[in-house]
Amino acid sequence: MRTSPYDPHRPILLPFPDGWFGVAFSSELKPGQVLRRRLAGEDVVLYRTRGGRLRGIEPYCPHLGAHLGVGGRVENEDLVCPFHGFAFDPSGACVRTGYGTAPPARARLVQRHIHEASGMIWVWRHAEGAPPSWNFPEGPGEEHSTYPCSSFHLLRTYPQEMLENIVDLGHFGPLHGYSGVRIGDVPPVFDGDTFRAHFIAERAFPLLGVLTVDLRFRVYGLGCVHFAVEIPRVGVRMLVVAGFTPRNPGETEMRMAAYYQKPGLKVVSSPRVRAALQSVVESTSRVLLPQVFRWFEREIRQDQPIFETKTYLERARPAQGDGPIMPYRRWASQFYTPPLRSAAAEGPFRHRLDADEA
């Protein structure tokens, strides 16, 4: 049995999944900069040209194999290798060498499929190199604040395990202190590459007492989740975008960005009044959003020791009140090559949770 290089006594429980994975916040990569990131046990190099074009590539120079993420630099629209000064244009073609000779025609960078949304940079990963099989969702719109809160967490666990937390209704009370956890107006639906769910619960907050929390999730593969949070009594409405990225075996990066949802102001006819109200909302979001965001971060810290010491049981023993854990696992199995279960290969997975599975 293989063991994780980060804990020699803990076996590697799950393979790397396929899909879109966030490897950086957009703010980390300015024009003219180069980033080296880790995805599924391999390096990925990201860079922006001086004109702002974003590129993601395999890390090694096709000339003699230098790592382009270690000393590589951007010159205008080209990426330049630190070893011999070979330059590559945004298409990946070698356009010049470092010593004035003709660039080799076959020297091309291997480009990765990338997408930028929700303040993050996402890279497509597939075990057999297949192209993206679904489109990446767009992020916050005009109804959300432009000011996001963001955080980064590195955990010794797996994307599938972290996302399973969403449907593990049984742990919200004992671990996080929620009460009355229940499915909302729409039962969880697992449909193709996505699943969506709506949960409602009560939770005690300092100085505010017990408040109702409304959570609506939409999950895209095993790498991304959008969830809308509403706490009606105090007027909190926000969108959180979270990315779960397998870095190395048994190691996952979690990035979150939260946006305050503005109240609908279309009923306000005066542009001047509407602009003033928008300004107030933006100012309020800068104060309120970080407070609510820290609540999410506390819950991640509560989960972390569980994630980093638990094992993955293929033959789990579910109990009433768990939530739709087993339908979730069947849905998640399709994102591995080969699938974790043969049933995942039968076609696009669709499952609407029945009442007796809740």
Report pLDDT digits (tens) over 121-179.
999 999 999 999 988 888 787 777 666 788 999 999 999 999 999 999 999 999 999 99
Residues 174 and 284 in one domain: yes
Number of structural domains found in the chain = 2
Integer Rg of the chain from CA:
23
pLDDT score for 155: 94
Residues 155 and 269 in one domain: yes
Residue 68 belongs to what domain range?
Answer: 12-125
Q: What average pLDDT does the segment 259-270 reach? A: 66
pLDDT score for 353: 45
Half-sphere exposure of 27 (CA within 13 A, CB side): 9
Q: What average pLDDT does the segment 45-74 reach? A: 97
Whether 358 is covered by a domain: the verdict is no
Percent of the chain with pLDDT over 90: 65
Residues 119 and 148 in one domain: no
What would the pLDDT profile of 281-295 be if each residue is shown by its tens digit? 666 666 767 777 787
Nearest alpha carbon to residue 183 among 319, 323, 350, 318: 323
pLDDT score for 348: 42
pLDDT score for 278: 66
Q: What average pLDDT does the segment 200-219 reach? A: 90
CB-CB contact of 195 with 189 (8 Å): yes
Whether 235 is covered by a domain: the verdict is yes
pLDDT score for 113: 97
pLDDT score for 258: 87
Least confident of 29-43, 70-84, 295-309, 339-353: 339-353
pLDDT above 80 (res 276): no
pLDDT score for 263: 65
Report CA torsion sign: 346, 350, 356, 358. positive
What single-letter amino acid sits at 59? Answer: P
Q: How confident is the model at residue 5 (pLDDT cuts 50, 70, 90)?
A: low
Whether 355 is covered by a domain: the verdict is no
Residues 203 and 320 in one domain: yes
Whether 354 is covered by a domain: the verdict is no
| CB environment 39-56: b (16+ within 10 A), e (fewer) | bbeeebbbbbbeeeebbb
DSSP assignment of 121-153: EEEEE-TT-PPPSSPPPP---TTEEEEEEEEEE
pLDDT score for 139: 79
pLDDT score for 8: 60
Whether 283 is covered by a domain: the verdict is yes
pLDDT score for 78: 98
| Most confident among 65-74, 100-109, 342-351 (mean pLDDT) | 65-74
pLDDT score for 349: 40
pLDDT above 90 (res 262): no
What would the pLDDT profile of 314-358 be if each residue is shown by its tens digit? 888 999 999 999 999 999 999 999 988 633 333 344 444 443 444
Half-sphere exposure of 349 (CA within 13 A, CB side): 22
Domain boundary among 125, 158, 182: 125
Whether 4 is covered by a domain: the verdict is no
What would the pLDDT profile of 93-102 be if each residue is shown by its tens digit? 999 999 999 9
pLDDT score for 284: 63
pLDDT score for 175: 94
Residues 55 and 153 in one domain: no
Q: What average pLDDT does the segment 27-46 reach? A: 97
Q: Is the pTM of this model over 0.85?
A: yes
**Of 278 and 83, more confident:** 83
Q: Look over the chain and give the mean of its residue pLDDT values, rounded to a whole number.
A: 87
Whether 199 is covered by a domain: the verdict is yes
Nearest alpha carbon to residue 292 among 220, 218, 215: 215
Place of tokens 């399709």: 334
Q: What is the CATH number of the domain that holds 22?
A: 2.102.10.10
pLDDT score for 201: 95
Q: What DSSP designation does 319 have?
A: -
pLDDT above 60 (res 111): yes
Whether 223 is covered by a domain: the verdict is yes
